Every structure is written in C-alpha cells, then in structure tokens.
Structure 1
Amino acid sequence: MAKDKPVKPPKIDIGIDKDTRARIAQGLSRLLADEYTLYLKTHNFHWNVTGPMFNTLHLMFEQQYLEAATAVDLVAERIRALGFPAPGTYKQYAALSSIEEVDGVPEWREMVAQLVKGHETCVRTAREIFPLVDEAHDEPSADLLTQRMQVHEKTAWMLRSLLE
C-alpha cells in the first residue's frame, strides 16, 4: 500500500501580508485575554453574588458571561483565520490581559464596579488595535472589534446605572 504524501497547506493569501497579520493577531490575542478574564470574573460573580440585588445581578451576570463565552470563540477564530495560534491557557491570559483578577468575594456594589472597569478595559484594548486593522483594510477584524466595543460600552453603561 502506498502511503499518502502529506500535503503542504497553501500560503495564506488574503491581501494582508504576514507581518501585518501577525501584529493584528497579537492585538487580538490581548483582546482575547481581556475577554476571557472578564468572562471568568463575571461567571465568578454570578456564582457568588449576595444581597438585596441578588436575583437581578445573578440573572444579569449570567446573560453577560454567556455572551462573553460566544465572544471569546469569535476572537479566537479570527486569530486562527489570520494564520496564528490563539492563546488558550490561564498563563497566557495572565500575561496578556489588562484586567485585574479579584481576591475573595466582594460585595455586590464592588462586583458591579469591577465589571464596569473590565468592560471599559475591553473597549480600550479593542480601540488600540483598530488603527492597525483599519490601515490593513482588514474589514472582518474591524467588524469584530466594532461589535465588541458596542457590546462592552452598552454593558458598562447598564452596570454603571445600577450604582447611580
């Protein structure tokens, strides 16, 4: 029986050179780390929230971490489409993320305040990448970043409203 020769995959030829794709993937990796860290923090708060706002926050946090679970997949898949491995370990996320982890279980107001900061951090990270993506005419990445900024800005506003 003849063995099949391995087929070398074709080079990526999407109109963006490899170095630019690498820089975009690096930026998206930072966003992925922020998104995943925020997902984990939100899920933690969902499990551990107490107090008079329990039901409202428990349900709100659940909606937010479910949305975030989808988002991390979209960001990781975009990194892969650009031809690079997506980070996927806690160690990588800790090195790449700008979002601070929390020790212990804060009271509900502090949970909300920390999530506002986390969502705003994701917006800033996405915004930092945008000029490079725009210059490269990388519309799929630009669309992803725009959608993520929109979700995070709206979520931060809704959370801030709970503290007014």
Structure 2
Amino acid sequence: MKDTAHDLSANAKTAVVEGLHNALADVTVATKKAQFYHWNVTGMAFGSLHALFEEIYTDHFAAQDEMAERIRALGDFTEGSFAQALERSDIEEAKNVIPAEKMVEDMAEAQEMISGSLKTLAETATKQGDDLTEDLAIGRAQAHEKFAWMLRAHLG
C-alpha cells in the first residue's frame, strides 16, 4: 500500500495533483461565492442564510489550505490566482445580487459540483494508490454533500 507522497510514481502524482488542482479551483470559486452571498442576502431568512453562508465560506477557506498543502506535499506548486480558479472550475462566480432563494439554489448546485469533483479525485487517488489524498477527498466530499443538503432543506 502506497500511502506517502514519496512512494508514488511520477505519473501517479501527476494524475492526483491534477485532480487536486480541479477540486481546489472549485472550492476557491465557491468560497468567494459564499462570501458574496453572505454579504448580500436579504429577506425573511436573512439570519439563518447569513450564518449558513458564513459557515460555508469559513469551512471552504480551511479546505483550500488542506488541498493546497496536499498539492505541495506531492511536489507541485498551487495555482494562486482567482482567474486560474475560474478557468479550471465549472462553477461560475457570483457577479450580481440575486434573490435569496436563487442564492440557495446556486450554492447547493456548487456544493454538489464540488462533491462530484472530489469523488472523481478519490477514485483517481484510489487507482494511483494514494490513500492520503483519497481520504482527504472522501472527507471533503461528505462535507460538501452535507452543505448541499442543508441548503436544499431551506427550499422546502
């Protein structure tokens, strides 16, 4: 069982790092989106959504660091610009204030997309024998699925 960055082949590292970059980009875009929604949400559910969006971006900020550090442990450098994250991610940035219900729908969709990219990463890591990245990806996928559920619960 290969469970350290040192034990992985160059090809395995390349495959895993590519998946990590993709997942990191998704989380980066979603972090900023959650912060934007946190700042701009209005309506009857303001309090609960304001707090939930803050919980999401706080969680995501820490997740970005965890993924970036894994990329570094595998010997690559992280991409640092928001433009690079937007290029890699299928999640679109929030540019306009929208009604609270649309914010919730959009953020739930983003969480589901992140969970999907993390599941793909977990599969890649498994195939490449990288147990540590597999574990990271599975744990993060679970967190994003939970956020998606919490957001969808607001929609009834």
Using the size of structure 1 for normalisation, the TM-score is 0.90
Q: 1:151 aligns with which of 129, 140, 143?
A: 143
Task: Please give the per-residue CA displacement for 1:106-130, whole angstroms capped at 9, x wherever unaligned.
Answer: 1100000000000000011111122
Structure-1 separation of matches of 2:79 and 2:15: 14
Please name the residue that 1:65 is paired with: 57
Deviation at 1:14, TM superposition (A): 1.6
Name structure 1 gaps, 5 residues minimum.
Answer: 1-11
Please name the residue that 2:155 is paired with: 163
Q: 2:87 aligns with which of 77, 84, 95?
A: 95
**What does residue range 7-26 of structure 1 map to in structure 2 within 5 Å?**
14-26=6-18
Asked if the contact 2:27–2:114 (Cα under 8 Å) also holds between the matched residues in 1, the reply is yes
Task: Please give the per-residue CA displacement for 1:122-142, whole angstroms capped at 9, x wherever unaligned.
Answer: 011111122220022211101
The alignment-based identity, stated in percent, is: 34
Q: 1:116 aligns with which of 108, 112, 137?
A: 108
Name structure 2 gaps, 5 residues minimum.
Answer: none
RMSD, aligned α-carbons: 1.3
Matched, 1:44 2:4: no
SS of alignment partner, residue 72 of structure 1: helix
Q: What stretches of structure 1 move > 4 A for 4+ residues in a row?
A: none
Deviation at 1:95, TM superposition (A): 1.1
| Greater relative CO (CA pairs within 8 A, separation 6+) | 2
Asked if the contact 2:32–2:93 (Cα under 8 Å) also holds between the matched residues in 1, the reply is no
The count of corresponding residues between Structure 1 and Structure 2 is 153
Task: Please give the per-residue CA displacement for 1:24-79, whole angstroms capped at 9, x wherever unaligned.
Answer: 10110000000000000000000000111111111111111111110000000000
Structure-2 separation of matches of 1:33 and 1:74: 13
Asked if the contact 2:5–2:74 (Cα under 8 Å) also holds between the matched residues in 1, the reply is no
Which region of structure 1 is more displaced relative to structure 2, 17-26 or 38-47?
A: 17-26
Deviation at 1:13, TM superposition (A): 6.5
Structure-2 separation of matches of 1:42 and 1:80: 26
| CA gap 1:38/1:13 in 2 versus in 1, 3 angstroms | closer
Structure-2 separation of matches of 1:102 and 1:66: 17
